[in-house]
Structures are given as structure tokens and as C-alpha cells.
């Protein structure tokens, strides 16, 4: 995704980076705050994953698939404006299959490995990045899915869930950066608009592409592993 560096104490300038907030970019206060926000979701998520694996071991491959899908898509870096880069998130699929708590764990694991292996994001910003990509994004995608599944064609519900999971991730990151680095004149609101506007240039079409890809993946799963989907009680997929 996009990221922005600061030149000076409070002035916001675009710079080559991604949405994953990079190591050292947040002050200790904000880094700790976002870890505190993420921690309850991780605790609940780990319990859900443990129970799921124990009670429904046949779903382990789908868990791995959801994590791999998120890892691959969110590791892609595509050229964006002002020398920055952008990328999909891939969390909509897991949100549909497993719900937000499980995705908070999968998202956190993905972000941890990306920080360690790809220098994508950071360890001190793991909490903040998990809140945006592993919590808020999946909640938005899951809410869209639950609200639309059974009321619209399944492909449309899947598409919108993936798109909204992507967009809300970037909205959250824009807010996180705006809170940490408010505009010297317009404050948090002005900074939020600046970050969000730059993100939107590439993220709007990129999220649409991610939505289409997620629809194709879900359609393939419906044909290849229908029994596993029934085990997860993923309702709404029978309405094509």
C-alpha cells in the first residue's frame, strides 16, 4: 500500500513506502496504543482457531489457504503516485469463511512474517497494521457479507465484501497516520484527507480487481471443496 514519510516534525509528504506502516514510523505511545487495541482480538481469535482446528480438523487447509491468500496479495507492490506503492489486502476471503476474530490472528501472522522476511511493515507497528488490515478490514468485509448473503447473488456479496475489506483497511491506516501526525493547520481532519486522497488514487481500482479475484477463488472453492464450506456453515454461497 501507500505510505508517507514526514519531513520535519509535523509536515506530511509522500514518500516511497506501502500502507503497512513501517518500523519506527509511530511514536512509542501510538505503537503501544494500537497493540493494546489489537490484543483482545488476538486473544479471542487464538481461542477460535484452536477450537476450530480441534473440532473441525478438515478445515485446516482452508485456514492455510486464507492465510496464504492474504500473504501473497498483501505482499504485492504496485507502483502508485508520488513514487509510492500500493497493494491489495486479501482479507475479504478469510472474513467470509472464518469471521473477523480468526482473521485477526491470520492477519497478525501474515504481517509478522512480512515484517521479518520482507521488511514490509515493522515489529513496533505490528499492532497498528493488524488493527487496519487484520481487524477493521475483515470486520467491514464480514459485515458486508452477512448483510448481503442470501439477499443478493453470492458473487455480488463476495465482491463487495472483498472490496470493502480493502477500502476500510486504507481508511483506518489514513486515520492512524493522521492521529500520529496531524496537519499543522487543519489538524487530524486535514491530515486524514491528505492521506486518504493519496491512497484512493490507486486503491479504488485495485480493490475492485481484488474483489473480482476473490469471487473467482470462492467460485473455485464451491466446486472443489463444497463439503468443507458446509462444515464451516458458510451460508449464502448456494445462491450463485
pLDDT tens profile 198-227: 888 888 889 999 999 999 999 999 889 888
Tally DSSP H helices, then E strands, for the chain.
9, 4
| Mean pLDDT value across residues 182-197 | 91
pLDDT at 96: 95
85 lies in some domain: yes
Q: What angle do CA 31, 34, 35 make, to 5 degrees?
A: 85
Q: Is 50 exceeded by the pLDDT of residue 238?
A: yes
pLDDT band at 21 (very low <50, low <70, confident <90, very high): confident
- What does the CA dihedral 187, 188, 192, 195 come to, rounded to 10 degrees? 70
State which residues form the domain around 196.
22-231
The CATH number given to whatever domain includes residue 157 is 1.10.1760.20
5 lies in some domain: no
* Distance of alpha carbon 155 from alpha carbon 164, whole angstroms: 14
Pair 16, 85: CB distance under 8 Å: yes
Burial of 236 (0-12, 13-18, 19+ CB in 10 A): middle
Tally of structural domains, the chain:
1
69 lies in some domain: yes
pLDDT at 18: 56
7 lies in some domain: no
Q: Is 70 exceeded by the pLDDT of residue 13?
A: no
pLDDT at 9: 31
Looking at per-residue confidence, does 76 or 181 come out higher? 181
Q: Is 50 exceeded by the pLDDT of residue 174?
A: yes
17 lies in some domain: no
3 lies in some domain: no
12 - beta bridge partners? 6
* Distance of alpha carbon 233 from alpha carbon 167, whole angstroms: 26
pLDDT at 135: 97
Q: Which residues contact 118 (CB under 8 A, 6 or more apart)?
A: 75
49 lies in some domain: yes
pLDDT in tens, 76-130: 876 555 444 578 999 999 999 999 999 999 999 999 999 999 888 899 999 999 9
pTM of the complete model? 0.88
CA distances from 200 to 132, 147, 161, 172, 219 (A): 15, 25, 18, 13, 28
Task: Give the sign of the dihedral formed by CA 183, CA 189, CA 195, CA 198.
Answer: negative
58 lies in some domain: yes
Amino acid at each position: 500500500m501507500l505510505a508517507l514519510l514526514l519531513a520535519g516534525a509535523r509536515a506530511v509528504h509522500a514518500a516511497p513506502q506501502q500502507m503497512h506502516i513501517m518500523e519506527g514510523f509511530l511514536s512509542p505511545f501510538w505503537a503501544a496504543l494500537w497493540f493494546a487495541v489489537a490484543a483482545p482480538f488476538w486473544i479471542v481469535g487464538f481461542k477460535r482457531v484452536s477450537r476450530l482446528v480441534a473440532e473441525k480438523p478438515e478445515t485446516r487447509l482452508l485456514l492455510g489457504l486464507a492465510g496464504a491468500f492474504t500473504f501473497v496479495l498483501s505482499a504485492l507492490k504496485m507502483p502508485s503516485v508520488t513514487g509510492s506503492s500500493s497493494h491489495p489486502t486479501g482479507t475479504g476471503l478469510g472474513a467470509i469463511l472464518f469471521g473477523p476474530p480468526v482473521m485477526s490472528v491470520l492477519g497478525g501472522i501474515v504481517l509478522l512474517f512480512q515484517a521479518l522476511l520482507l521488511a514490509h511493515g515493522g515489529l513496533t507497528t505490528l499492532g497498528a497494521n493488524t488493527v487496519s488490515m487484520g481487524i477493521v478490514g475483515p470486520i467491514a468485509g464480514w459485515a458486508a457479507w452477512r448483510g448481503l448473503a442470501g439477499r443478493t447473488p453470492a458473487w455480488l456479496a463476495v465482491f463487495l465484501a472483498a472490496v470493502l475489506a480493502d477500502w476500510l483497511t486504507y481508511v483506518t491506516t489514513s486515520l492512524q497516520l493522521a492521529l500520529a501526525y496531524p496537519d499543522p493547520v487543519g489538524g487530524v481532519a486535514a491530515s486524514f484527507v491528505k492521506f486518504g486522497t493519496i491512497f484512493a488514487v490507486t486503491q479504488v481500482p485495485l480493490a475492485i480487481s481484488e474483489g473480482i479475484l476473490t469471487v473467482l477463488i470462492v467460485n473455485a472453492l464451491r466446486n472443489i471443496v463444497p463439503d468443507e464450506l458446509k462444515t464451516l456453515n458458510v451460508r449464502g454461497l448456494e445462491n450463485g
